[in-house]
Amino acid sequence: MNIITILTDFGLQDGYPGVMKGVIYRIAPSVQIVDISHQVPPQNISRGARILERSYAFFPPGTIHIAVVDPGVGTKRRPMAAKIGDYFFVGPDNGIFTAPLLRAEGEGKAIECVELNQPEYWLENVSHVFHGRDIFAPVAAHLANGVALQNLGIPIQNPVLLNLPQAQIFENQILGEITDVDHFGNLSTNIPGNWLSKYSPGNLTFCLGDVIIHGLNKTFGERPEGEWVAFIDSDDYLALAIVNGNAASKAQCGAGTPMIVKIAT
């Protein structure tokens, strides 16, 4: 059974994800559909890209991932399908597939992208504002039915990549920033966990504005309730939290807020 995942910023109250599923099932009734999230903040391509990065590789090889965070829908931005490493991807060519593209490139895996320009694999009437329903869902379903990627469009050699901020490491400090805020208000950063593992946890101090955290912990329970804690999250990046509290609300910060790690010698 083929698997198709769906990631969008559509929310749940208006029925748009359900409409996409209906389109898929009409074309490929035997597929299994998995919702990754429909709560991406509206038009936030970077957040959608981070959620996709966290999720896609945990699925079996051959899974088809639809990702639709598409503020440029109906404009000259290209609709795209791709085989990136072991997975297929369908959605707008606006950078949302940056993580799998960079990972496949770094691992030397094959990348094949096409601009979708074959309307026979779309719905008959294509809206200017709902390509998730009219183009991406049917294309994914046809892929699941065995249609070759090459039949869906013309090759793309330069898929769009987001300019994701990179942390910088120096002799006595690391400069990074907050990249994500999760449901609990925990703060993820772009500082890789393996950068910190070579230092003694007690020699690290984490600075977020006026917030100072001394020492790196393994998990929330190593600090008392209400205290700040720094730890390596499940994606292997530095994260900050308040034990049983909301760090983002407390610090009044979000994606883009600078983060400094000081290293004692």
Question: How far is residue 128 from each of residues 36, 71, 75, 135, 196, measured CA to CA in Å?
Answer: 25, 12, 8, 11, 47
pLDDT band at residue 1 under the 50/70/90 scheme: low
Query: Letter for the amino acid at 168?
Result: Q
192 - beta bridge partners? 237
Distance CA 255, CA 85 (A): 29
Distance CA 82, CA 4 (A): 14
In what helix (H) or strand (E) does residue 55 lie, and over which residues does it extend?
A: helix 45-55
CB of 187 within 8 A of CB of 238?
A: no
Question: How far is residue 209 from each of residues 130, 212, 253, 259, measured CA to CA in Å?
Answer: 41, 8, 9, 8
Q: How many CB atoms lie within 10 A of CB 51?
A: 21
Query: Letter for the amino acid at 224?
Result: P
Name the residue with tokens 């020492």.
215
Distance CA 168, CA 160 (A): 24
Question: How far is residue 65 from each of residues 139, 196, 258, measured CA to CA in Å?
Answer: 11, 32, 32
Q: How large a percentage of the chain has pLDDT more than 90?
A: 98
pLDDT in tens, 64-107: 999 999 999 999 999 999 999 999 999 999 999 999 999 999 99
pLDDT in tens, 143-194: 999 999 999 999 999 999 999 889 999 989 999 999 999 999 999 999 999 9
CB of 131 within 8 A of CB of 70?
A: yes
pLDDT in tens, 123-143: 999 999 999 999 999 999 999
Distance CA 178, CA 259 (A): 7
pLDDT at 265: 78
189 closest CA partner among 251, 249, 257, 247: 257
Distance CA 51, CA 33 (A): 17
Query: Letter for the amino acid at 4?
Result: I
Tokens of 247: 């760090």
CB of 52 within 8 A of CB of 100?
A: yes
99 closest CA partner among 66, 60, 54, 53: 53
pLDDT in tens, 181-190: 999 999 999 9
CB of 214 within 8 A of CB of 228?
A: no
SS3 for 250? helix
